[in-house]
Structure 1
Amino acid sequence: MLSLISKLTYLHNIFSKLIISLPVFFTHNFSKYMNIKNAFYNLSLDQITGDCIEFGVFTGSSFKHAIRVDAKFNKKSKSLFYGLDSFEGFPDDSHPYFNQENFKSSYERAKKIEKKFSNARIIKGFFSDSLNNSEVKDIKKIKFAYIDCDLYTSAIEPIKFLENRLVIGSYLMIDDFVNIDRHGRSISELFYSTFNEKKMVFVSSFGVSGVIYRYVG
């Protein structure tokens, strides 16, 4: 068997070149969308109720995907979807890639999501402001949360907000979980220091450095 494998080196080379040729954007998002679909499928199976929130909407693609899969698996869903973003990039330059220039997006385009989905709420502002929005502050139960704000500093307030709002059976999805900023910090530090006493079960990884956990009580 080993001799056969050794003679198929060219196949390994083909696979290697194929993987290298695939855009990271494609592989990352395919994995991300599949994990969102799986999470909402399980939420429906277990009849978990609550609202959903995304920190870092950017173009709104994953936000809309979450709304669609929730509607597919739970026809009677009453969940509201909150999308929070400054739409101005990041408040500091603590990372060479995750900066204002690369991640500034259109609020006007994202706001159109509300016209397409009646249960969508797009809220503009840095998290220090948007999390004080009266409608957001009134959220009591969250069944799905997605943190896609990339940086340690940007994730501080979202994680604090979620700490006592996640319901049993809820999913917490975090992108850029172990990306390191210029100060040597990562979102993983915040997660482990905040939820160290909670029963958070690792479910899956996705994309480049994303993770998804489930709160089981």
Structure 2
Amino acid sequence: MTALHRHQLVRLTDAGWQQVLAGSRDAQAQACLAHWALQRLPLVVTRQRPQAEGTICLGLPAPGRWERRRIALAVSAAHIAQHAAFPPASALAPLLGAAQRRPWRALCGGLAASGVAARVYGSHGWQLLTGLDHLRPGSDIDLCIAVDGPAQADAVAVLLQSWSDGLRLDGELVFSGDRAVAWREWLAWRAGRAAQVLVKRLDGVALADAPFWQAEEAA
């Protein structure tokens, strides 16, 4: 089975959707899931919890049409038809206002020059994927950016901070081993303004006060 990671998308088989739709839910949740099944829209891998072997925890963040509910699902791994990813940052420009497009393209150019690939998740990512009303006024732009170590993380976080006032940027830096840290928290920790930093993984979260990325390197 393909290794899972945070913010990963999956598409279900027909049998998988049949399993999901056979569950007992309220009418609103069922209507949302029926739309997802009909359009073959993706689901997102969420935090994995202890459960029956071969079952994967997934989520569906519904758009405004279904009151932006978060629908949690548990699906057999055998029903995963395809693994996918959120859209690249460069795809976001059409959803932005005219005043934001130039700085956004400049930020994307800076990220590319730093050697990182950025993807858009959260409400902007879902609106790109579905075309539905996930955005609301003032929605942050959530970016997921894989980095190869602390030096690259420093450079990327400084770049994000330099553009954050006009673009409402949020999101995570993802280190090896699928260890993710909010970029603002990373900056504060590296500057000594915080004693610890919250590290998120697929199976949980933990506070770190030492170089957490070295654990993977030493393994």
Q: Could you state the TM-score of these two structures normalised by the residue count of structure 1? A: 0.29
- Structure with the bigger RCO (C-alpha within 8 Å, sep 6+) is 1
Which has the larger strand fraction?
2
Q: Could you state the TM-score of these two structures normalised by the residue count of structure 2? A: 0.29
